[in-house]
Structures are given as C-alpha cells and as structure tokens.
Amino acid sequence: MTILITVCLHPIFRACNLQVQFTEDGIHLPDIGLWLDNTQPCEATWLSHAHSDHARGCHTQVIGTSATLRMYRMRLSVSENQEAPKMFPLNFGESMPWNGAMLTAYPASHILGAAQLLIEFAGTRLVYTGDIKLRPPLAGDTTEVIACDRLIIESTFGLPIYKLLTREAAAQRIIRFAQECLDEGQTPAFTGYPLGRGQEIVHVLANAGFRTAVHGAIAKFIPVYEDYGYRFPGWEPYEAKATAGKALVVVPDHGRVLESSGKNIRRAYVSGWAALDNARLRGVAEDLIPYSDHADFDELLELVERSGASHVDVVHGYTAPFAHILRSRGISASAPQHASDRTNIEAEG
Amino acid sequence: MDALAQVCEDIARVGSKLKKIERLAAYLRPLHDDDLLLAVQFLSAGPAAQSGINQTLFATEEKTSLSVGRTVIREALQAATGWDREILRLCFSETGDSGETAGLLMRGISAEAPMTLRQAEQLYGQLGLAHTSARKRELLTQIYRRYQPLTIKYFIKIITRGLRIGLMERMVEEAVALACHVPAASVREANNRLGDLPKVALAARHGELASIETRLFHPMDFMLAKPLERLEDLARPADWFIEDKYDGIRSQVHFDRGQVRIFSRGMEEITQAFPEIAAAWKKIPGKGIVDGELLAWRDNRALNFNVLQQRIARKRVRATLIQEVPVIFMGYDALLHNDALLLGMGLQARRQALESILENAPPLLQVSQQRGAATLEDVDRLFLESRGRGNEGLLLKRKDSLYEPGKRTGAWQKLKRPFGTLDVVITAAEQGHGRRAIYFSDYTFAVRTPNGFANVGKAYSGLTNGEIKELTKILRSASTEKFGRVILVKPEAVLEVAFDGVQKSPRHKSGFALRFPRILRWRKDKRADQADDLARVEALYNSSVV
C-alpha cells in the first residue's frame, strides 16, 4: 500500500531535539518512526482516543490505552487479506521504549481511555495532548498537566467567548431539564455523540434515578464504561414506541427524527457549541447546556501555562487565533499549516 | 434591567409561545408604572430615539436610532477587554450578534453592578446625546466595565434592535394583556390606534384602553403589503381594489387647519424637504391623517426614484430644485378625518373619506386611481398597463380591509414581477448574522467583462438553508483572500438573480448596480463563462432610462 503524505516541514525548534512534521493525515515524528493520530493506514501510530475520525485506519502497529484499543477494535473491520494491527497497550502512568524514545501515557479526560502522550527523546520532553479537557468530566478520568518543553495542543474552543459549565453545573442543568419536562408530561431528549458525551449524559441521568432510554449507537459502548467501573443503574435500550415517562439519550441525527415525529418531545443540546445562542438553531434544541469533553478557553490557557512549555503547536480548532493569543501573552506558539483548522462547521464538540 | 435581561434569557430558552408570553407577563405584572413603560418600550421599540440626532431618511442596518453602530460596540469592547481587533472580529463572526459577544467576553471582567430600567434609559440617553463616536465609545466602555454581563448582552441587543429570543410584537401585546388582566384583542386594537405599546400597556393597567385616542402630529405605523409571489395565488380577483404601485417615498400627512407635518416611514418628519406639498395641505379644511406617497411627477406620470432622490436629504429646498424635480402627493388612505378614527372601518368607507378630504384640493394633491378586476387576466392586463406607465407593478387591497398600522397581513398585497433576471458569478461572500452567522450567506456578484468580471451587486436572500450550507463549503474551498467576515472567491459559482432595475453606481467597477437584487436559484448547471456580460447590463440600463 502506498501512502501519499504531503509533508510540510516545520521549523525545528531548538527547545526540542525531536523533529515534528505536521501533515494532512496526522503528526509525524520521523526520528522515532511514529505517527500521532494518523487518519490513514500507516506503519505505527499513537491513538490518543477512540473517536471515529481517527480511530479507524488499519495500521500495522497501534499504541494506545487498553480502553482506547478495545473501542478501536470494535470499530475496526479487517478484510481477509489484511493483517490485523499489532496493538501495544500503554495505560496511564505506564512507559515504554520506542526507537530510542521513552513514551508515557497520561489521562486526558476527553472520553473514556483518552490519553496524552509524553515523548522523551534526546533530553527533551514533548507532550501531545490529543483531544483534552482539564476540568473533571461527568464520567471519565481527570487530566494531569505534564511539564514539558514543547506542547502540541488542540484548540476546539480556543476563543474567549467559550466558557463552559463545570461538571457539577452541567449535571444540575441536565437533571433540571429532565425533571421540568417530565413534570409537565413531556419527554426530555438529550443529544450526545455515540462515544463520550452520550455515556456522560446517561451516567448523570441514570444515577439521578431517571428511567433512561439509550439509543443503540450510544448503548454499544456502555459495557466498556462499566468494565472501567462506571455504573448506569437501570438504563434501558431506546424504543421509538415507548418513550413516555423516560429521559431519552440519542445521537444528534436521531434527535431530528424525534422532533419531526410529532411526539411530545423537548430537546436539550449538551455541547460546547451550546455556549453560543446560534446553537439553538444549529442543534434545533430548546435548552442549551454548554458542557463539553473538550477544554474551554480558560482551561486551554491554564493547561499551556502550567505545562511550562517553551513552544506550543496548536493543531485543531481555532489554531491561528489561539496561537496568536498565546504569542500576545509572551508564549512562543504557532499554528502549523496542515493542522486541521476549524473549517468543518459540524465539528464535534 | 437585570431582571429584564434574565427574563429575556429565560424566554429564549423555552420553545412554547404560550410559555414565553406567560413568563413575560409574570415579569411585567409587578412592575411600577414607570418601569412598565420602559420595559415594554425596550422590548417592543428599542431605546427612545433622541429626536433630530443624526437621523437619516433611510436608516441603514449599521446605524441605530442612537447612532451606535457595530464599530463603536466593537471598539468599546476592545477597550474594555483588551482583546485585539482580529480576535474580536472572529468572536463577533462566530456569534453573529454584538450583544451576545459583549456579554460573553465581559464575564469575569465586569464589576457586576446592578442596573435599573431607569438607569438603562439614562444611559441610552447619554449615548444618544454623545456627539462623537469617541465619546460614545468611552461611555460604552464604562458601561461594559460596570454592569452584569447578561445585562450588557440585552442592553446592546436593545440598541441593535434584535433580541432574537423568539418574541414578536404580537406576543408582547399578549403578555401586556395577560399582565393587566384585559383581553388580548383590546390591547392589540388600542396599539393599532396609538402605535405606542408602552402607553397602551399603561392604559391597559389602569383600565383606560377605551379612551386611547390617536393623536395628531404623532406618526402612526404604516400598513404594509405582502408580496404576492405568483398571480395565480390570488383567490377571487373581484374582492380587491387595484392600484398602481409607485416607487416614491411613502408618507403620512397630519393636518389641522393650516398646520401640517409630513412623516416618512422611518417616523421622521420630512415636511421641510417638501414645502410645496406642505403649502398645498395647508389649504385643506378640517383635520386628519392621510397615508400616501410622494412622487417625482411630470406629464402625468411618476418619474424614476433616482430623480426623487435629489429632493430627499435636504433641509432647505431651493426654488429651482422644486422646478427641476416637481413632486406631488398621491393619496392612498385616510386614517383620521375630523374627529372620526377610520382605522376600524372598511377600505371603501376610508376611501370615501379620502376623496372628500381631497375634493377641490390643489393639483399637487391627488388621489390614487382605484381599479377593479373580474378575472386574473384583468389583473395581468392592469399589471402590464402599470408597467407601461413606468410603475413597479400593482397594489391589491381587499375591499373590506381594515387599516392595521405596522402590519403586513396579506389584506394588502403587492405584485412586482422582476424587471429582469441575470446569470451572475459570485466573487465574494460574507458571513451572515444571527442564525446564518456560521455560513457564508451574503454574496457579491459580477457579470463578465472582456477582461474578467465586474461586480454589479450583492444579495443575501433566496436560497434555502441547505443550499447556503452547501455553497458555504464550496466557497470556502474557492476562497483566495479573507478580510474579517468576507472572503474573496474564485469566480466559479453562478446564481440567477432577479432585480427591479439597473442604476448607475460609482461604487462598482462595472459602473452599474442592480436595484433590489434577490437570488432566484443557484445555477449549478452553468459555468462562469456562461454568465451574462456587462453589455447586457448596459442594454438593460439604457432601456429603462426614461
């Protein structure tokens, strides 16, 4: 299989002796023969978390936390003449040598299993956050900030207009909306992505004692969460015919189906994008609950500052503006050209 | 004001109309009279305009009645937050709303002092009276720093006249009725008569709705016509009075034995710009309010709007200009005659009153001709005749229609088939506002020239949301340069636009601009080299110049 890679050679920073190339497919570390979240099949990649936008290619060697690898396996379809990827589990706090570097995984709290990777090579420390959240999530591990020389960070919510709710406040809002609807004889429906947000909302509702009906795409990953110690008391599979008296947790597309079904349903949109009023139209929801599994603006700044990194690469979301903001605070920062900019308006958040 | 902001935020959050009305009513009910006046004013009409300050006849979207535009709002925010221009631009373009952006960015920075409705009114007053934008900016910066972020959000939204919380004036009327324990119909009816919802609210509370009277020399909202998209949609042509649709300045004349004031649709007084018309009205006996239109007029027909334009924007009018651009008043409707309020009467009765007011009037004051039609073919013929007289099309008014100030109910309809259509190419796109803030929904378009493309206009309405979304993706990938909210794009996407005329324009390189362009459809089947060319635009212009 030929892999076509457009390499954009980025200036190599003195602070880091490890060469980093940002390409359309992912981040390449040629010195140690490793990719970070390569979206295309490749020789060896680190998988920061199991969202389908990158946890999909059939690579030869894959490194990730056990939870991430397990969900990656659930998504993977290996054809007969293909060899299944060789998987190297690397759990939180564990280290492994890799072509002259030392790799260590730390929690990133984004979704179950999401991890940051610390790469120590020739006396310098590089951290790749992947998708990250700094404050504790509704369900998942809490992030550690790792001191490093160079930090590669995302910026999904890298503008000062994005300030999101803490998990306590988000849980309160979720419960309040569900209770209000049920008290008035209506059915509350929450929309969440199949992996991460979906389970977090179910976790809040089920533990608050609501009868919670869960869409299949979200339910599929609940056993994985359960194996890692999260409890979802009494959740049940979603059935279109029996929704009364229950709180529904469905995927966004199905939310639209529900709305048009003419049933007595009210929708809440739980997302970082719900921080802006125009999300009401984008998500076609009544209530907006601005909570995300990504860090908000203040968290991103805090992460960068606490890492002590002497250079920051911003690779996803508002890359150029966030790098500009960091520079205006005296932090060396850049937005590599091939980093995925926020051009996709339906970006997950 | 803090409570008003909170109730607005709550109203935005509930979907049901009834619940929105109930929440607003619950907020209004306990307010003192003064506060009730202000709250209803802010919700229905925005801050009170400071008369005579920088008001133009045609208020642009950018300027508000306080002359506080988006630039001042942004610059003040720059001063209050320290965020630089580029970051703020991006924040504004993501939210698509000035008030929301200010509220979001002031979280954690502002002093969170409380603001009363009375204070809000005073602050609006100060902003309106500040004569330079530097002073306005300074005031607004202080306001941002001092008050609660949510209050700031709605304080600004009230200035920019877009609450965007799904609350229409009808619903405010209903909330007032609910709060004051009177029937909604009586509030609506009184508001129609007075056109001043805050005062109506106060009267409703004190059981004085019945005594609300229309006052002379206070402009009332104009009744508006709904566009009739297709002639075939008109049921029973015989039910309608049909008049020519002129392209002039819609005006309302208030007269009382020698005293005359003429108001434009922007509620601005324009008496001074048309002294000969005012003089003619002084000769009319009795008193009343008449709705009509000012038209540049020669040889028994209306001249192009471009001609009339020379008469606007002037405080004092030279006698020679009156000769060069002769103007008449074309009467449409009578709203008040002597002591009889006519709004609630049928059009036929109002028409009789109009004719009796203007009986024996000087020739500068005319009554528009009313025609009838038995069939759709008749209407079509009348349309073509109107176009033959150089007018825009037809106005159809149901014979039994009441005069509903400020409303566009469909009891009046306008038929305005486009002057022409052109296939044009998109050369630049701008992000929309509000619900369209995340898309490129405003397009600058061009026609072909021998050496490239030249812009002839800009349009934003006509495509479906799905098309806008799809086009946004295509334009993004075709973009060559970006300036804030605007991207320049490779001239590739072709639109078919309809428009009402062609005029000369120094703003465009082509030298022409289309009047009222709107998008008919996205011509995915056409390439840019198949678009219309400048020669065609020129020919259309030449054919329209009378």
**How far does chain A reach from its first CA to its final CA, in angstroms?**
33
Contacts of A287 in chain B (CB under 8 A): 13
CB contact under 8 A, B439 and A280: no
pLDDT tens per residue, range B346-385: 999 999 999 999 999 999 999 999 999 999 999 989 988 8
| Residues in chain B, overall count | 546
* Stretch A276-304: mean pLDDT: 89
**How far does chain B reach from its first CA to its final CA, in angstroms?**
55
CB contact under 8 A, B86 and A324: yes
Contact between residue B156 and residue B102 where contact means Cβ atoms under 8 Å apart: yes
Name the minimum distance, in Å, from the CA of A139 to any CA of chain B: 26
Provide the pLDDT for residue A8: 39
How far apart, in whole angstroms, are the C-alpha atoms of residue B374 and residue B383? 14
Best CA proximity match to B289, nearest among B335, B246, B245, B221: B335
Is B245 noted as a catalytic residue in this protein?
A: yes
pLDDT tens per residue, range A141-160: 899 999 999 999 999 999 99
Contacts of A314 in chain B (CB under 8 A): none
Relative to beta strand B287-298, strand B240-245 is unpaired
Q: What percent of chain B has pLDDT over 70?
A: 95
CB contact under 8 A, A276 and B95: yes
Residue of B nearest to A284 (CA): B15
What is chain B's mean pLDDT, rounded? Answer: 87
Contacts of B105 in chain A (CB under 8 A): 160-161
Least confident among A64-78, A113-127, A174-188, B137-151: A64-78
Note whether B466 contacts A: Cβ–Cβ < 8 A.
Answer: no
Confidence of residue B543 (pLDDT cuts 50, 70, 90): low
Confidence of residue A338 (pLDDT cuts 50, 70, 90): low
Confidence of residue B317 (pLDDT cuts 50, 70, 90): confident
Name which residue leads in pLDDT, A8 or B336: B336
Least confident among A124-133, B24-33, B53-62, B314-323: B53-62
pLDDT tens per residue, range B405-463: 877 888 999 988 777 789 999 999 988 876 677 789 889 999 999 889 999 999 877 78
Q: Is A79 helix (H, G, I), strand (E, B) or coil?
A: coil
Confidence of residue B491 (pLDDT cuts 50, 70, 90): very high
Residue of B nearest to A162 (CA): B104
Contacts of A278 in chain B (CB under 8 A): 95-97, 434-435, 437-438
- Reported as type and span, the H/E element at residue B251 is strand B249-256
- Which residues of chain A have a Cβ shorter than 8 Å from any chain B Cβ? 159-161, 163, 266, 275-278, 280-282, 286-288, 318, 321, 324-325, 328, 343, 345
Name which residue leads in pLDDT, B390 or A344: B390
pLDDT tens per residue, range B241-297: 999 999 899 999 999 988 999 998 877 788 989 999 999 999 999 999 999 999 999
Optimal mutation site among A277, A297, A324, A345, interface B, most CBs of chain B within 10 A: A277
Confidence of residue A191 (pLDDT cuts 50, 70, 90): confident
| Residues in chain A, overall count | 349
pLDDT tens per residue, range B494-528: 999 988 778 888 888 888 999 888 888 898 888 89
Query: Taking every pair of C-alpha atoms in chain B, what is the biggest distance, in angstroms?
Result: 71
Provide the pLDDT for residue B180: 94
For each of the domains in chain A, give its residue range(s) and CATH number, in order of start: 7-161+294-341 (3.60.15.10), 167-289 (3.40.50.12650)
DSSP-assigned states of every residue in B19-62: HHHHHHHHHHTTS-HHHHHHHHHHHHT-SPP-TTSS--SS--SS
Of A159, A282, A328, the CB nearest to B91: A159
Contacts of A266 in chain B (CB under 8 A): 15
How far apart, in whole angstroms, are the C-alpha atoms of residue B441 and residue B485? 11
Provide the pLDDT for residue B492: 92
Name which residue leads in pLDDT, B474 or A257: B474
Of A163, A277, A343, the CB nearest to B107: A163
CB contact under 8 A, A345 and B472: yes
Note whether B13 contacts A: Cβ–Cβ < 8 A.
Answer: yes
Interface ipTM above 0.90: no
Question: Residue A208 corresponds to which amino acid?
Answer: A
* Stretch A268-272: mean pLDDT: 92
User: Which one from B136, B245, B397, B407 is the annotated catalytic residue?
Assistant: B245
Name the minimum distance, in Å, from the CA of B490 to any CA of chain A: 18
* Stretch A61-82: mean pLDDT: 88
Provide the pLDDT for residue B126: 93
Contacts of A281 in chain B (CB under 8 A): 435
Confidence of residue B390 (pLDDT cuts 50, 70, 90): confident
Name the minimum distance, in Å, from the CA of B399 to any CA of chain A: 39
Note whether B15 contacts A: Cβ–Cβ < 8 A.
Answer: yes
Of B12, B13, B90, the CB nearest to A321: B90
- Reported as type and span, the H/E element at residue A180 is helix A167-183
Give residues 108 to 147 of B whose Cβ lies within 8 Å of A. Answer: 108
CB contact under 8 A, A159 and B472: no
Residue of A nearest to B475 (CA): A343
Confidence of residue A272 (pLDDT cuts 50, 70, 90): very high
Name the minimum distance, in Å, from the CA of B148 to any CA of chain A: 16
Residue of B nearest to A266 (CA): B15
Note whether B107 contacts A: Cβ–Cβ < 8 A.
Answer: yes
Provide the pLDDT for residue B59: 31
Q: What is the model's pTM?
A: 0.69
Contacts of B101 in chain A (CB under 8 A): 161
pLDDT tens per residue, range B248-262: 999 999 999 889 999
Phi, psi of A268 (to 5 degrees): -120, 145
Relative to beta strand A34-36, strand A27-29 is antiparallel
Provide the pLDDT for residue A75: 85
> Quick one: three-class SS letters along B290-356?
EEEEEEEEECCEECCHHHHHCCCCCCCCCHHHHHHCCEEEEEEEEEEECCEECCCCCHHHHHHHHHH
Note whether B84 contacts A: Cβ–Cβ < 8 A.
Answer: yes
Note whether B434 contacts A: Cβ–Cβ < 8 A.
Answer: yes
Note whether B105 contacts A: Cβ–Cβ < 8 A.
Answer: yes
Name which residue leads in pLDDT, B310 or B451: B451
For each of the domains in chain B, give its residue range(s) and CATH number, in order of start: 47-160 (1.10.3260.10), 226-415 (3.30.470.30), 420-544 (2.40.50.140)
Q: Which of B53-67, B139-153, B455-469 ranks highest by mean pLDDT?
A: B139-153
Name the minimum distance, in Å, from the CA of B478 to any CA of chain A: 13
Name the minimum distance, in Å, from the CA of A191 to any CA of chain B: 16
Provide the pLDDT for residue B63: 36
